[in-house]
Amino acid sequence: MAAISKARRDKAAPGTSYAYKASLVGAAQQFELTDDGLSWRVGGKAGLWPYATIASVRLSYRPVSMQSRRFRADLEDVGGARVSIISTTWQTVALMAPQDEDYRAFIVALHRRMQQVGSHAALVGGLKPAIHIGAMVLIALLGVAMTGLLARAVATAQWGGVLFIVGFAALFGWQVGGFIRRNKPRSYTFEELPKELLP
């Protein structure tokens, strides 16, 4: 009977544990929501942060070339230590697999635990404002350059060039525009997590 109850305790409830591999080499980064706080193990380091000592949570959308649906949570405690939780994991040299459901469940459960202890953590979403503004300026400059190239191609009747520029602009706008839109700087609450920043 004691063995059965111990097995039940050892088996984590859904949404209370999460692990991912940030690279092909090295061990998985492991996180668990315990009664005492957020337990984490990253490489050779480990720690336990009581939920009330988590000073900030930043959610963001971080696609990479091998995985377009990739989300990230950056946590910082009151002592300035930081850990990151990513929604994908490396499986092989050519495969970075999404873990959408597990990641979402863990992040939602973490916020619920923090709210239950009356956390005053800063909850922010997207990029830092300075980075977001810099990205917007670069996009605007690129837009001006592309418009100039398009006007020149039309004026010289270079229709192949026109099609290339229009196609490139559409692809760029779809990919980069989505990244900028999702990562707009914002604050959020425990009751309403930003849907654009969760899988």
19/97 same-domain check: yes
What's 116-176 look like in SS3?
HCCCCCEEEECCCHHHHHHHHHHHHHHHHHHHHHHHHHHHCCCHHHHHHHHHHHHHHHHHH
Domain assignment of residue 2, yes or no:
no
pLDDT band, very low/low/confident/very high, at 114 (cuts 50, 70, 90): very high
**Contacts of 193 by beta carbon, 8 Å cutoff, 6+ apart:** 59, 107, 108, 111
Q: What's the domain range around 158? A: 129-178
Same domain, 120 and 146: no
* pLDDT score of 56: 97
Q: Are residues 112 and 172 in the same domain?
A: no
Examine the domain organization and report whether 117 and 146 are in the same domain: no
In a domain, 60, yes or no: yes
- Higher pLDDT pick, 149 / 87: 87
For the purposes of burial, counting CB atoms within 10 Å of the CB of 33, is it exposed (0-12), middle (13-18) or buried (19 or more)? buried
Note the residue count of the chain.
199
- Within 10 Å of residue 154's Cβ, how many Cβ atoms? 13
CATH of the domain at 111: 2.30.29.30
**pLDDT averaged over every residue in the chain:** 85
* 5: in domain: no
pLDDT the model gives residue 99 = 94
In a domain, 50, yes or no: yes
Same domain? 94 vs 133: no
What is the arithmetic mean of pLDDT over 161-182?
78
Residue 78: which pLDDT band, with cuts at 50, 70 and 90?
A: very high
181 vs 124: which has the higher pLDDT: 124
The reply to whether 161 and 120 lie within a common domain is no
Nearest to 36 by CA among 99, 113, 94: 113
Edge-to-edge strand order for the sheet containing 17-20? 17-20, 29-33, 38-42, 45-49
For residues 135 and 146, state if they share a domain.
Answer: yes
Query: How does pLDDT run across 20-44, given as a tens digit for each residue?
Result: 998 877 778 999 999 999 999 998 8
- Is pTM, for the whole model, over 0.75? yes
Number of domains in the chain: 2
Q: Are 38 and 122 found together in one domain?
A: yes
Does residue 199 lie within any of the structural domains? no
SS3 59: strand
- Is 117 found in the same domain as 163? no
Structural domain contains residue 6: no
Dist CA 79 CA 73 (whole Å): 18
Query: Is 18 part of any domain?
Result: yes
Q: Looking at the predicted structure, is the pLDDT value of residue 12 above 60?
A: no
Quickly state the pLDDT bin for 153 (edges 50, 70, 90).
confident
